[in-house]
Structures are given as structure tokens and as C-alpha cells.
Amino acid sequence: MDSDLTQKSISFNSARFLVSAPRLEDCPPDTGAEVAFAGRSNAGKSSALNAITAIGKLARTSKTPGRTRLINFFSLNREHARLVDLPGYGYAKVSRDMKDDWQKHLGHYLNDRRCLRGLVLVMDIRHPLTDFDQMMVEWCEHNKLPLMILATKADKLKFGQAKNSMMDIARRLEAFTCVQHLIMFSATSKRGVDECRAALINWLEGSGGLRD
């Protein structure tokens, strides 16, 4: 573990925008520890990041899903600890070539970023495990990368419905050893925020997910 990672306890409301990178070579130096957030457009990824950090406009939400086309890095109060907002996919009204370009650079980041400690996959609890979600789960399983799933927008369902959806998600994922956390989440009610923060701290301050 890097000695500078032991200096401070992480405070998520210390998050500050660091840099946007279109390609792997434009990312910050590959040192320290970072956790990346991925999700299909409209899943509530930006709202989740804003709720976790308690900073209302840290990750900009857009009325045009998929508008964020860059890998966005946010620094934390602990040196070389970062949160990463990956581009969303699904509804973006862009050319196929541009989508392919996004996916190529996203793939480079996920495959080659050595300081990546874990991936947070944000999915709408009402429409879980889309093709994109399934692809990301399978990628994490193949690469032995710890995965946290946030089932967002839980406030849109009655509790019984939300609980049933969580049970269904858990059943469908029971064969995947990469899934370390499955959290019912609502950016509106803040349900699951504390649980998510605790898991993120474990990844960022520990050695879990650090690649050989």
C-alpha cells in the first residue's frame, strides 16, 4: 500500500473535480487508489455521486442522457485517492462511430488502469441488469475486479416492490463472485448512502481490488 494513502481518513464531501480525460493517456498518473462509477444512461449515476459526496453539482446531471463523453476524475482529501465518473451509455443520440470510440477508450481504462480498486455499477432498480449491466458484471468477474451494485431510484417503488426487485437481482447474480456489495439506493431519500460510503472507504483505504 502507498504510504501516502494512510495519511487521512477519507471525507467524501472533500471531492473536487480534477480532470476530464478522453483517452487513457490523458488520465492522472496511475498511482494511489481509485474507484470508478459506471452505469447506463438514465440509471442515476450522477445523482448517486452527488448524494455520496453531499455535493449537489459535483457530477452534473443532464436532461440529455449520455452527454458526458469523458472519463471524469475527482480528487479526495486523501492524497492520490480518487472517484471516477465513467461515460454513460444507452440513450445518447450520437453516431455509432462515436459510441464505438467511447467504448474503446473505456475498455482501455478498465483493462489497463492498475490503481483501480473496484467498480460501482449503478442500475435502475425498476429496470435492472440490462445488457450493458450484464456486460459490466461479466467483465468484472473475468478480471477479478470487486464490484458494488447500487440499485438506484428505490424511492420510486413501494418498499415491498423494491425488496422483491433486490431479491431477484441477488438471485440472478449469485454465481458471480466479483459482487461484493448489492445496495438498495436512493439519491432522493439518501437510502444506502452510508452503506455505500463505508464500502468505498474499505476499497480506497485497503488493498482490496489492487491489481498485481
pLDDT for 209 equals 44
Is the model's pLDDT at 7 over the cut of 90? Answer: no
What HEC string does 158-195 produce?
Answer: CHHHHHHHHHHHHHHHCCCCCEEEEEECCCCCCCCHHH
The cell for 40 is: 447506463
Q: Tens of pLDDT along 76-99?
A: 999 899 999 998 765 455 566 666
Of all helices (H) and strands (E), which one includes residue 18?
strand 16-21
Rounded to an integer, what distance in angstroms lies between the CA atom of residue 136 and that of residue 150?
13
Q: Tens of pLDDT along 105-157?
A: 778 898 899 999 999 999 999 999 998 899 899 999 999 999 999 999 999 99
Rounded to an integer, what distance in angstroms lies between the CA atom of residue 62 and that of residue 92?
11
The cell for 11 is: 471525507
